[in-house]
A = this chain, B = another copy of it.
Amino acid sequence: MKNQLSLGLDFGTESVRALLVDLRGRERATVVVKYPHGQITEKLPGTGEKLPPDFALQHPQDWIDSSARAVRGALRNARAKASDVIGIGVCFTSCTMLPSLADGTPLCLTKKFAREKYSWPKLWKHHGAKTQTDRINALAAERREKWLDRYGGTIGLEWFFPKILETLENQPAVYEATEVWLEAGDWYVWQLVGSSANELPRSTCQAGYKAMWSRDDGFPSPDFFKALHPRLANVVDEKMPGRFLAPGESAGNLCASLAAKLGLNAGIPVSAAVIDAHAGVPGAGAAEPDTLVMVMGTSSCHMLNALENRPVPGVAGIVQDGILPGMVGYETGQAAVGDAFDWLRRMVGAKDFAGLTSKAQALPPGAEGVLCLDWFNGCRTPLMDGSMTGVFTGMKLHHRPEHLYRALLEASAFGVRWIVELLRERGVPVKRFIATGGLPHHNALLMDIYASVLGGKIVIHPCKHGPALGAAILGAMAAGESATGFSTTAQAIRSMAQPSSIRKQTRTIKPNPKAARAYDSLYQQYRGLAEKFRNISK
């Protein structure tokens, strides 16, 4: 068998990871390289201008330079030849976006605009567009824009058009000089394939989840944009050229100049970009539809591919071809998971989780009456309301820190069950659960509670860098059946993310029947509490 490798590139907030993996899922090398400028939140490079507190920028040259070092390092560590690499996949934080010229030059790297902070790429967590987001939501609600339904009735502060409108309102000259507005992931893929602006490969994932785009209806209408701001009316026609490709579809072949930078051969097929969390779906081995992939860390992103497109209120995004080609991707989320656990640990003055966990484990389901709403960072799905707050109730003088901790873990599980029931009620099947990310590996009690609350077994995927593996799978898909022998997406995922070597390390958590029965009624109490508070705060 030939030494065929796929390259997955995972662009994070502080660094980029390059992963080389073969077509049987054997990891050959992985190298992480930090961005020289990291997150730019204090001072603008070059001028030293102090940035407002809600700013978070990145440097586009970092993406090229750091990925080049990472790829070269991975090739070296894998003792692989450049010719072994048969496909490239790219996942990126989102919505990280930037203004560029038609030839791909980021506006911030032009002489004229380098000193202007609004010309720089805005990182996903840039929060400068608060008022713009509110106005977009209000106007869309007033006009009953159809696309609003696909996002649970609310679009997010970190999304694509709020960030454009923020620039237009604060620095119109930057808006006027921009020839292409685009996602950073798309920009990077565009650089790799070196196409013209008209052929610019835009990811259906990023456009669908962050820019209100859909395969059927495109972007919001010029009428809507005009009502928002006259100058924005034709933003799509004038400043957003390109074509739409699903992750796993080929965006073109690696061009000579980027090949030279990365130390690869020109001509390698490159997949369209994908959001990093969404790349975790193939990366976790979710080859079948109706499988909820729970990517669990400081916050959680729960994603599902389905064969049919159904409106589900309160789901953060429903996108045809949003995660994998040919399926409808449903994205849901919980805004505070590991973050909330760590907050509680600090709140009760515990050094680590060991003592809390063993005591919480000894408690029965329901934490002896303590009930929690885990909205310490707002409620994402299904309320889509960042103003929601955390709640503990049912507390008596005999309760101890472990009661609060167990109640918090249970609230987190109830939150997922709410999402699952919502999907099922609306005709979106949820048949299997896969957990990935850092938390499932470190918190066995949490996974036991999740399995019993959900009433179904949970597969914990062992891969420590699922998004990079997902990107590599998408790269192999872009390379096509002639190169890989994979005739379907499911085949690629099974071969690369569910090989026997991985299956051996996979744990399956089963529900405890007695606990599951108790949680059926506790879950109803949680829902009752949630109803009380959604009314209070809205």
Residues of A within 8 A of B (CB): 336, 339-340, 343, 346-350, 369, 376-377, 389-397, 399-401, 404, 528-529, 532-533, 536
Interface of A is mostly: mixed
Report the Cα distance A225→B390, complex, angstroms.
Answer: 49
Given contacts A348-B347, A348-B348, contact A377 B396 (CB under 8 A): yes
Minimum CB–CB distance from A4 to chain B (whole Å) comes to 45
Report the Cα distance A44→B43, complex, angstroms.
Answer: 77
Q: Which residue of B lies closest to A370 (CB)?
A: B389
Q: Which residue of B lies closest to A401 (CB)?
A: B347
Q: In the complex, are the beta carbons of A392 and B394 less than 8 A apart?
A: no
**A349, A393, A532, A533: most-surrounded residue (chain B CB, <10 A):** A393
- Chain B positions within 8 Å of A376 at CB level: 395-397
- Chain B positions within 8 Å of A389 at CB level: 369, 393-396
Instruction: Return the contact of A536 from the options B336, B392, B532 (Cβ within 8 A).
Output: B532
3 interchain residue pairs of minimum CB distance:
A349-B349, A390-B395, A391-B393
A-B contact pairs, 22 of them (CB 8 A): A339-B397, A340-B397, A343-B399, A347-B399, A347-B400, A347-B401, A347-B404, A349-B350, A349-B401, A369-B389, A376-B395, A377-B396, A377-B397, A389-B393, A389-B394, A389-B396, A390-B394, A390-B395, A392-B392, A393-B393, A393-B533, A529-B536
Q: Which residue of B lies closest to A377 (CB)?
A: B397
Minimum CB–CB distance from A353 to chain B (whole Å) comes to 14
Minimum CB–CB distance from A515 to chain B (whole Å) comes to 23
- Chain B positions within 8 Å of A369 at CB level: 389
- Chain B positions within 8 Å of A339 at CB level: 397
Q: In the complex, are the beta carbons of A395 and B391 less than 8 A apart?
A: yes
Report the Cα distance A200→B393, complex, angstroms.
Answer: 48
Q: Which residue of B lies closest to A346 (CB)?
A: B400
Instruction: Return the contact of A528 from the options B377, B399, B536 (Cβ within 8 A).
Output: B536
- Chain B positions within 8 Å of A397 at CB level: 336, 339-340, 343, 376-377
- Chain B positions within 8 Å of A391 at CB level: 391-393, 395
- Chain B positions within 8 Å of A390 at CB level: 393-396
Q: Which residue of B lies closest to A371 (CB)?
A: B389
Report the Cα distance A404→B343, complex, angstroms.
Answer: 13
Known: A391-B393, A393-B393, A532-B536. 20 other contacts (CB 8 A): A336-B397, A339-B397, A347-B348, A347-B400, A347-B401, A347-B404, A348-B348, A348-B349, A349-B350, A349-B401, A369-B389, A377-B396, A389-B396, A390-B393, A390-B395, A390-B396, A391-B392, A392-B392, A393-B533, A528-B536
Minimum CB–CB distance from A266 to chain B (whole Å) comes to 47
Q: Which residue of B lies closest to A369 (CB)?
A: B389
- Chain B positions within 8 Å of A396 at CB level: 376-377, 389-390
Report the Cα distance A529→B533, complex, angstroms.
Answer: 9
- Chain B positions within 8 Å of A393 at CB level: 389-393, 533
Report the Cα distance A250→B350, complex, angstroms.
Answer: 59
Report the Cα distance A339→B403, complex, angstroms.
Answer: 18
**A336, A346, A389, A533: most-surrounded residue (chain B CB, <10 A):** A389
- Chain B positions within 8 Å of A336 at CB level: 397
Q: Which residue of B lies closest to A351 (CB)?
A: B349
Report the Cα distance A149→B58, complex, angstroms.
Answer: 69
Report the Cα distance A475→B397, complex, angstroms.
Answer: 38
Report the Cα distance A399→B391, complex, angstroms.
Answer: 12
Minimum CB–CB distance from A538 to chain B (whole Å) comes to 14
Report the Cα distance A377→B369, complex, angstroms.
Answer: 13
- Chain B positions within 8 Å of A532 at CB level: 532, 536
Report the Cα distance A390→B393, complex, angstroms.
Answer: 6
Report the Cα distance A142→B477, complex, angstroms.
Answer: 75
Report the Cα distance A382→B41, complex, angstroms.
Answer: 52
- Chain B positions within 8 Å of A343 at CB level: 397, 399
Report the Cα distance A391→B536, complex, angstroms.
Answer: 15
- Chain B positions within 8 Å of A401 at CB level: 347, 349
Report the Cα distance A404→B348, complex, angstroms.
Answer: 11
- Chain B positions within 8 Å of A395 at CB level: 376, 389-392
- Chain B positions within 8 Å of A348 at CB level: 347-349
- Chain B positions within 8 Å of A404 at CB level: 347
Report the Cα distance A369→B387, complex, angstroms.
Answer: 11
Minimum CB–CB distance from A170 to chain B (whole Å) comes to 27
Minimum CB–CB distance from A524 to chain B (whole Å) comes to 13
- Chain B positions within 8 Å of A392 at CB level: 391-393, 395
- Chain B positions within 8 Å of A394 at CB level: 389-390
- Chain B positions within 8 Å of A536 at CB level: 528-529, 532
- Chain B positions within 8 Å of A340 at CB level: 397
Q: Which residue of B lies closest to A395 (CB)?
A: B390
Minimum CB–CB distance from A174 to chain B (whole Å) comes to 33
Report the Cα distance A349→B400, complex, angstroms.
Answer: 10
Minimum CB–CB distance from A411 to chain B (whole Å) comes to 12
- Chain B positions within 8 Å of A377 at CB level: 396-397
Report the Cα distance A61→B360, complex, angstroms.
Answer: 47
